[in-house]
């Protein structure tokens, strides 16, 4: 994610972001990802201020966090997270991770880049590595009320893209929730493996 307007929107709202409650479906999906990985090394891709990374660390996982917003990386580091400034294009490892957690971050990438990013994530996972993907459901690409860039997908588009990237889908959960901008949106949570 390299969209400056999106990064700026997050930079000025770190404290607000930390106050947004996770929907119950996402809390359960995070737990399911943790259990599916079991132990090992994970990448929290688009980690934000590191809240999920902190949860995974408390559960005994070794976490590397990556985010494009400097203020988020700084906050995560201040809270003991191994966090780095970077974009989706910085996922260049091969068979490195037991799991990759991508919670509502890949939706900031342009639609045209989605297959390329999924392929890089697949390469970065060890065989049978676990992948969690959270996205908003919808159509098109546009900016929200906070000027963040979003790409929306249908469930069918997501399933097809994951299949083409070589993933096997284990579970799909859908729901509705309110995010940082205050809008009430449909979302999808996918647990898959390489």
Listed residue (82, 81, 18, 85) closest to 54, CA to CA: 81
Residue 181 has pLDDT above 70, yes or no: no
- Average pLDDT of the residues in 101-130: 97
Q: What is the Cα–Cα distance from 135 to 152, expressed in whole angstroms? A: 8
Task: Tell the CATH topology of 4-172.
Answer: Rossmann fold (3.40.50)
Q: What is the pLDDT of residue 22?
A: 84
Nearest CA to 86 out of 52, 115, 46, 122 is that of 46
**Bigger pLDDT: 60 or 2?**
60
Nearest to 55 by CA among 86, 22, 85: 22
Can you give the C-alpha Rg of the chain in angstroms? 15
Query: What are 25-56's pLDDT values in tens digits?
Result: 999 999 999 999 999 999 999 999 999 999 99
CA nearest to 126, candidates 13, 2, 37, 34: 37
Give yes or no for a contact between 101 and 132, defined as CB atoms under 8 angstroms apart.
yes
Residue 165, token pair as written in the block: 């990237």
**What's the half-sphere exposure (Cβ side, CA atoms, 13 Å) at 138?**
17
| Domain assignments of the chain as residue spans, ordered by start | 4-172
How much is the average pLDDT of 162-170?
98
Tokens found for residue 92: 């260049």
């Amino acid at each position: 994610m390299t969209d400056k307007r999106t990064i700026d929107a997050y930079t000025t709202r770190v404290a607000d972001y930390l106050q947004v409650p996770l929907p119950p479906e996402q809390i359960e999906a995070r737990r399911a990802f943790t259990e599916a990985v079991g132990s090992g090394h994970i990448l929290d891709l688009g980690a934000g201020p590191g809240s999920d990374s902190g949860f995974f660390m408390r559960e005994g996982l070794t976490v590397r966090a990556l985010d494009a917003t400097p203020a988020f990386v700084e906050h995560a580091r201040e809270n003991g997270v191994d966090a780095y400034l970077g974009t989706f294009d910085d996922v260049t490892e091969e068979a490195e991770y037991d799991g990759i957690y991508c919670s509502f971050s890949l939706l900031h990438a342009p639609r045209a880049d989605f297959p390329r990013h999924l392929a890089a994530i697949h390469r970065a996972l060890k065989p049978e590595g676990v992948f969690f993907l959270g996205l908003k459901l919808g159509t098109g690409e546009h900016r929200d009320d906070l000027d963040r860039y979003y790409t929306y997908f249908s469930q069918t588009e997501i399933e097809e893209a994951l299949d083409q990237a070589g993933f096997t889908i284990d579970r799909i959960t859908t729901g509705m929730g309110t995010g940082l901008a205050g809008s009430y949106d449909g979302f999808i949570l996918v647990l898959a493996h390489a």
